[in-house]
Amino acid sequence: MAFRRKTIHNPVTGQTITFLQTRRDTNGTLLEMETSYAPGSHEPPAHYHPGQQEYFQIQAGELTVRVHGIEKVLRTGDSLHISANVPHAMWNAGNIETIVNWKVLPAMQTEYMLETITGLACDGKTNATGMPSWPQTALMLGHFSREFRLTKPPYALQWIVFKIVGSIARLRGLRPFYTQHLD
């Protein structure tokens, strides 16, 4: 479980997250983190948050962002607000570490999702870009659909596929989150 000053590190993507304020600290209204992106990180799949908004403040380095399909580079001192349901992706295309203050409102279960993804990477259960297996991904995306959705394919199709594949994944012993990574 996330707590103030807890740091998690994804050895595959190179992203480090330090929790500054958790959902417990803010009664669920806010999750605040400091995150660092390793140089030359990969562009993640475009996604959106149906019930959350995000605020990013670049503390050091540069962060490449794609919002509504338009790519731009944010530099130290720049900030970005992303409203709910806005498609986006962000990564560090530069050659030095990027540090970002990242706020998610409301917090919902985002900290559990981040801990799970990082835990899977730490356990060697992701590919070279940090993505878990397809059954694990379907199970997680189904479970965390209030917090995170892919932009493609349409959500109705995702929902159907995630329910079917997620059920098979559960039968194979997979879980949407792992309590051993929540301590």
Phi, psi of 17, deg, nearest 5: -130, 130
Residue 2 lies in a domain: no
Strands 98-105 and 16-21: unpaired
pTM: 0.92
* Residues of the domain holding 76: 7-110
Q: Among 110, 128, 156, which residue terminates a domain?
A: 110
Mean pLDDT of the chain: 94
What average pLDDT score do residues 30-54 get? 96
pLDDT at 100 over 70: yes
Buried b (16+ CB within 10 A) or exposed e, 78-114: eebebeeeebbbbbbbbeeebbbebbbbbbbbbbbbb
60 lies in a domain? yes
Nearest to 103 by CA among 178, 1, 25, 41: 25
Domain count along the chain: 2
Which residues on neighbouring strands pair with residue 33, listed in sequence order?
A: 19, 102
Q: What percent of the chain is predicted at pLDDT more than 90?
A: 88
- Look at residues 156, 116, 107, 160 and name the one whose alpha carbon lies nearest to residue 137: 116
What's the confidence (pLDDT) of residue 56? 98
**Residue that is last in its domain, among 110, 145, 165:** 110
pLDDT in tens, 121-176: 999 999 988 889 999 999 999 999 999 999 999 999 999 999 999 999 999 988 88
CB-based burial, 2-14: b 16+ in 10 Å, e otherwise? beeebebebebbb
Q: What mean pLDDT is predicted for residues 9-21?
A: 96
* Rounded distance between C-alpha atoms, residue 100 and residue 33, angstroms: 8
Given a cut of 90, whether residue 77 has pLDDT beyond it is: yes
Let me know whether 145 and 159 are in one domain.
yes
Are 87 and 32 found together in one domain?
Answer: yes
Question: Band of the pLDDT at 60, cuts 50, 70, 90?
Answer: very high
Look at residues 100, 48, 61 and name the one whose alpha carbon lies nearest to residue 79.
Answer: 100
For residue 42, what pLDDT is reported?
87
